[in-house]
Copies of this chain bind each other. A is one copy, B any other.
Amino acid sequence: MSAIFKQHLQKFISISDEEFEQILSYFKLITVSKKENLLLEGQVCKQHYFVLNGCLRKFFINEKGVEITTEFAIETWWITDNKAFEHQTESPFNIQAVEKTTALTIDFHSQEKLLNDFQVMERYFRFIYQRAYAAAQMRLKFLYDFSKEDGYYNFMEAQPQFVQRIPQYLIASYLGFTPEYLSEIRKRKRS
């Protein structure tokens, strides 16, 4: 299972089998079942998750009591509330399993230690954050550029893997509109 993580690391940096085993020892392997929570709103965000298989999502609850999903993570994606993780403060987010999920998890202090002990991990995380930041910038562009309807078609094309496995109300939530409106868009397309 953790071979997935090894392959992912080796896409960015070169490490020996021995080094990998040492690096892996900073992590814990966890499995959570569908709807199980890994972080609750108001808690300090202690962990950074690397999904090996399954799917996690990050969401918050707005003043109307509606869940808004801001992020999904599937195989080989990292997920956490980075701001709360970095400062070890309370998070406004929840992290929950969409499906049964296996992940590696590392707490803040272990991650700091890992970065100090392995220079090459600075390089790895520099890549990871750089890519994640670039992706977030493009996501912002899409939000500004597209109407909600076009955003849906764009997402369908760009991430068909999600549309297969994720319930529609979560997709609507992620795209920033209501399930009813998603229904309407789909009806329009059909006719």
Residue numbers of A with Cβ under 8 A of B are 60, 62, 68, 70-71, 81-83, 86, 92-93, 115, 119, 122-123, 125-126, 129-141, 143-145, 176
Contacts and interface: CB of A to CB of B under 8 A. Distances in A.
Interface class of chain A by DSSP: helix
Across the A-B interface, the 7 shortest Cβ-Cβ residue pairs: A129-B129, A136-B136, A82-B134, A126-B126, A83-B134, A133-B133, A122-B122
A175 to B, nearest CB: 10
Given A126-B122, A126-B129, A68 B144 contact: yes
B86 A145 contact: no
Contacts of A123: 115, 122, 126
A132 B138 CA distance: 14
A62 B145 CA distance: 6
Nearest to A139: B140
Contacts of A126: 115, 122-123, 125-126, 129
25 contacts: A60-B141, A62-B144, A62-B145, A68-B144, A70-B137, A70-B141, A82-B133, A82-B134, A82-B137, A83-B135, A86-B131, A86-B134, A93-B141, A119-B119, A119-B122, A122-B122, A122-B126, A125-B126, A126-B129, A129-B130, A129-B132, A129-B133, A133-B133, A136-B136, A144-B176
A125 B134 CA distance: 14
